[in-house]
Amino acid sequence: MINNLFHGTPNYGVPDTLNDPDLLPEIKETKEAGIDLQFFNSRLSLGFSVYDILSKDLILSLPVDAANGYTYKNINSGEMSNKGFEITLSATPVQTDKFGWYIDWNFFKNINELTKLYPGLSSLQSIRRLLWYCKPLCDRRTSFWRNLWGWIRI
């Protein structure tokens, strides 16, 4: 494997991650519907959307014994469901040539659920690793994992 050049000299290395020969690509099935309404010359607007996302064959990098020449192995690890809705309200109470007052309000609810875990990944450590991989923002002080849309309890 050739990595990025360092002052014009290629950097050669050996990969440390083994790919499962049966590794499948991650697949997402997404359903979303919404509506946007505008009133009074667009000075008041209301939006609503609802979504349902199913992520299949999530890829997870698990640690393995380094004696085999690799330190990690990529595997398909499970399925995750992500459902929620969002409501937005925007208003422009005051609009002049030199001044504008804009108000935006947003409310959302998101529910993540690990719906399937493949055999051999039944330990809590594997689940935590999967959630860490899938959702990069994490609060390590609690048993709640945070993502961009909400909290996941494990």
Residue with tokens 């875990």: 117
**Residue 113 contacts residue 54 (beta carbons within 8 Å):** no
Distance CA 9, CA 68 (A): 29
Distance CA 72, CA 5 (A): 25
The answer on pLDDT for 36 being more than 90 is yes
Average per-residue pLDDT for the chain: 77
pLDDT at 2: 53
**Residue 79 contacts residue 58 (beta carbons within 8 Å):** yes
Q: How many other CB atoms are there within 10 angstroms of residue 104's CB atom?
A: 9
Q: pLDDT (tens digit, 9 = 90+) per residue, 94-133?
A: 989 999 999 999 999 888 887 887 776 655 455 555 555 5
Is 140 strand, coil or helix? coil
If pLDDT is split at 50, 70 and 90, which confidence band does 1 have?
A: low
**Residue 120 contacts residue 127 (beta carbons within 8 Å):** no
Q: What percentage of the chain has pLDDT greater than the value 70?
A: 68
Amino acid at 92: T
Between 139 and 21, the more confident residue is: 21
Largest CA distance in the chain: 71
**Residue 57 contacts residue 74 (beta carbons within 8 Å):** no
Q: Which residues pair with 115 in a beta bridge?
A: none
